[in-house]
Amino acid sequence: MLRPRKLGHVGIYVKDLERTTKFYTEVVGLKVSDEFQGKAVFMRCSHDHHDTVAFQLPQEKLERAGNDRSEIQQIAYEVDRIEVEFRDPDGNKVQFYCDMEQIGWDDRSRPPELWRPDKNL
């Protein structure tokens, strides 16, 4: 059995990425670590690269969403070893990962040209 050390991050699909980013930075007090313009914003409250990720809800889902709440994109837990993703009984993506990237002393992330490509963005 894997034993999570901590909740790593929560990813959520949102209807308005700009409004959500403003809420989490100005009201909750998170800092933006990285941004995929119009697609995703990675935010943090510590030196971990991110603990909250907001993903713009795709247009086809946005049209059906109406006033419903947005979806969970994923819940991630930090573990000592192994990286794996799977679905919970309700279909939410759960990720176990190790070694979260850290934000440096200069409060900056790695430059985009060093990022690993993500097929979901």
115: Cβ contacts below 8 Å, ≥ 6 apart: 34
Look-up of token digits 């060093």? 114
Ranges of H-type helices in the chain: 17-22, 59-65
Structural domain spans, the chain: 6-103
Q: Which of 20-29, 42-51, 90-99 has the lowest mean pLDDT?
A: 90-99
Beta-bridge mates of residue 14: 56
Percent of the chain with pLDDT over 90: 17
Q: 97, 83 in Cβ contact below 8 A?
A: yes
pLDDT of residue 117: 59
pTM over 0.85: no
Q: Which fold has domain 6-103?
A: 2,3-Dihydroxybiphenyl 1,2-Dioxygenase; domain 1 (3.10.180)
